[in-house]
Amino acid sequence: MTIVSYYVAQSLDGYIADLSHGVSWLDSIAPNEVVQSFRQPGDTENLFKYEDYLKSVGAIVMGRKTYDFLVQYGSNPYQGIETWVLSESLSAKAPLLPGIQLAPPSMDLKTFVSDLMNRTNKRIWIVGGGDVAAQVLELDLLDEIIVSIAPRTLQAGIPLFRSLNMTSVKNWKLTQTQITENGFVQLCYRK
């Protein structure tokens, strides 16, 4: 069954990027040796290992601001995986990074993600950012949240989920955790 998944790294105080949309605060730090872990019985995937996670992905969705970051980076790191960017401001004629497509203008996000779910039995990775992730959560399409918490605070920035000025309580089940020697806590929650 297809899983719609938000796989992301955040600061200890809940931000995925700094106020200028940068992630350089993550450059010099990455999860190292695992010192403690937990997995629900029967859960065989190693979801925290990026390479293994990527192998489970059949389609990728990101917001335009996250795409801008890839443009600065200079290339598409997801070559070979169907990858979509959501935007109302990018022109349909504007050239995008190779392998990345613009979602149809004025598409309905629920229909768009549901169509992707019908086309792959692998994961749909909501890369982010917090704006797109919040909408997918609000539409009740998100099945999985995999978050790596870095042992750093930023004090301000782009939140894990953009606030939509509404409250909707949802319960999540913890299925995997990992703690690394250098202080990362990695968590996988399922709906």
Site for ligand NAP in 123-182 (CB under 6 A): 127-132, 135, 158, 162
Task: Decide: is 8 part of the binding site for ligand NAP (CB under 6 A).
Answer: yes
Do the Cβ atoms of 137 and 164 come closer than 8 Å? no
Count of residues that bind ligand NAP according to CB under 6 A: 27
CB of 186 to ligand NAP, least distance (A): 12
When asked if residue 65 is in the footprint of ligand NAP (CB under 6 A), the reply is: yes
From candidates 17, 137, 141, 188, binder to ligand NAP by CB under 6 A? 17
Dist. CA 69–CA 73, nearest whole Å: 6
Question: What does the binding site for ligand NAP look like in residue numbers (CB under 6 A)?
Answer: 8-9, 16-17, 21, 23, 62-66, 69, 86-90, 109, 127-132, 135, 158, 162
